[in-house]
Structure 1
Amino acid sequence: MRLVLAELTKIRTTSTWWIFGLVMVPLWGLAVLYNWGTTSLTSDIPADAEVPPDQAELLAVVGSDINVATTHYTSGQFLGVLLVMLLGAILVTNEFHHQTATNTFLVTPHRERVVLAKLAAGVLLGLGFWLLTTVLNLLVVPFVLRSLDVPVQLGEPAVWRAIGLNALAYALWAILGVGAGVLIRSQIGATLTLSIGYLIGSIGGSVAFALLTQFVADFFAKLEVIVPTTASQLMVAGTDLPGNPPRWVGAAVLIGYALITGAIGTLIMRRRDIS
């Protein structure tokens, strides 16, 4: 526990955490506006519009009250988990940037304990950001839903399940960040690599699987869940979506990535020369 507190203190005594927090708020606001606008546009599609049957079924489910509600109550996840991942990486790269890694491992020779403390600190920071966006969503989203003529839905278990799984997503992305920070020691290098990889990977993965689904085979649509951002978005859906794997598959994929990244990071840190 003392090691975890020490890791949190390292972040608290720098400007990093509150800068990320200040950045998070406008990004969350943009996410709410995006979801609001997207829902408004899709609800305006005429019922007799010529849409392929499979897409019509998906649009109908996505546009259901419960899925509209869960989408809005988890607003901010896409860019929120990116910030959490970067913060997790900074927990590690800070040591090398400020040349404190040697002192850290002299004080605590068991390196795996240090890595576990960083993983725990990353999870706590991730949950802090989740709490921030969740409180904002609970305050603002009911007004957005009323403007869309959608019930507030706070009495629905599916909404609270989505909010809870959203917390899990934030925690798992923080673990991914810590693991990536071990692999990429440079703070600037890790920040740029993770940011570019996250955004390009998300967009590129969606485009690639869409093309494979259209020109090769339909089952590729279900394989898109291996893209981490797709997995984290799927797990917070209010219901299972037609043409997509069950929500638990998204959670399992993200947990798998976090476990692999955390394990690799721990092994590398144990063997790598720190000086």
Structure 2
Amino acid sequence: MGVLAAERIKLTSTRSPWWCTALFVVATLGIAVLFSLVLKLGVEQFNQDIAEGKQPATTNPYPDNAIAGLGITGVADGFPGFGYILVMILAALAVTSEYRFGTIKATFLALPNRASVLFAKAGLIGVVAALLSAVLTFVSFFIFKALIGNDAGRFLSLSDGDNKVFYAVPVFVVLVVFLSVGVGALIRQSAGALSLLIVWPVLVEPIVGAFGETGRNIKVFLPFQNAGRFIGTADNTLPWHWGAWGGLLYFAAVVALIFGAAIYLVNQRDA
């Protein structure tokens, strides 16, 4: 409990966590507003074409699955994935900032069990981020339903469609927190850790899929693609070897491997 209290004080007494949290909220809700307005324009254009006797560009402007649409607008996606990237930045800085300012030495002197320090950091940030993401996912849904208009909004219901996104996003957020803390402990430098965490899901994994059939076969084994498989944002046309829950287990195994390597090296290296 003392370790958790210390990590809570570190988390709430510095500016970067507050800035990351504020940007996380603004980005998530902003994407929900943007996506709902774009869809609303599509519905209005469809109705206008019908009224004028024109051939509509689409035969069905209404969302077939409200929750699938929310998966695009929620915390797991956008810009792309801008929301969860901010969570990864916050989690990585919780480790690398201590190495930068040398406070990690005092932390390890006070608590020689270094593994418990990493678990406390990741656990505290993970729980807070998961709760916040769950709230924002629900708020995004209601924003989506309110702004899309009564015509299309009648098709949206919390009881219809695949509700998995409401628990899949918080689970994913917890895992990326442990991943980010592990990467931060391995690299120990903010620039290097943040570069890797941002470039890998945003640039590296999407580029792999551009290399024809070989790239598509490799892409199904990449960690963030499997996380997207679980959430419902991945490309379903890829040659997947397992389903959504298999994707979650695969991503969790990668996170466990990196976090375990971080614990091992932290115990082996000097602070």
TM over 0.5: yes
Equivalent in 220, 223, 226 of residue 221 of structure 2: 226
Change (3 A) 1:261 1:254: same
Q: Which residue of 2 aligns with 1:56?
A: none
Match of 1:251 in 2: 248
Shift of 1:137: 1.0
CA distance in 1 between counterparts of 2:196 and 2:161 reads 38
Instruction: Give the 3 Å change call, closer, same or farther, for CA 47–138 of structure 1 in structure 2.
Output: closer
After superposition, the Cα gap between the structure-2 partners of 1:124 and 1:67, relative to the gap in structure 1 and judged at 3 Å, is closer
1:101–1:28 distance in 2 versus 1, CA, 3 Å: same
C-alpha separation in 1, matches of 2:239 and 2:149: 29
Q: Secondary structure at the match of 1:226?
A: coil
Bigger CA drift: 146-155 or 181-190? 146-155
- Matched to 2:129, the amino acid is G
Q: Which runs of 5+ in 1 are unaligned?
A: 49-59
SS at match of 1:83: helix
Matches within 5 A, 1:65-76: 65-66=65-66, 68-72=68-72, 74-75=74-75
Aligned length: 253
TM-score by length of 1: 0.77
1:83/1:105 CA distance change after superposition, 3 Å:
same
Report the residue type matching 2:111 in the other structure: T
Residues 66-112 of structure 1: CA deviation (Å, up to 9, x unaligned): 55444256355411211111111112112112211111111101111
Task: For residue 136 of structure 1, give the secondary structure of its aligned residue in structure 2.
Answer: helix
Which residue does 1:6 correspond to in 2? 6
- Please show how residues 161-240 of structure 1 align to structure 2 within 5 Å: 161-201=164-204, 205-213=205-213, 216=214, 221=216, 223-237=218-232
| 1:213-251 CA distance string (max 9 Å, x none) | 2xx5xxx64652333332232212299945563222321
Q: TM-score, normalised by structure 2?
A: 0.78
| Equivalent position SS for 2:253 | helix
Aligned AA (1:234): R
Give the distance between the partners of 1:164 and 1:251, measured in 2 at CA: 12
| Post-superposition offset of 1:126 | 2.4
**Percent identity at matched positions?**
19
Which residue in 2 is equivalent to 1:272?
269
* 1:158 match: secondary structure: coil
Q: Which of the residues 92, 108, 111 maps onto 1:89? A: 92
**Where do 5+ consecutive residues of structure 2 fail to align?**
47-55
In structure 2, the partner of 1:152 is 156
Local SS of the residue matching 1:156: coil
C-alpha RMSD of matched pairs (Å): 3.2
CA 273–258 in structure 1, closer or farther in 2 if over 3 Å, else same? same
Greater CA drift, 7-16 or 26-35: 26-35
Task: Identify the residue that residue 122 of structure 2 maps to in structure 1.
Answer: 119
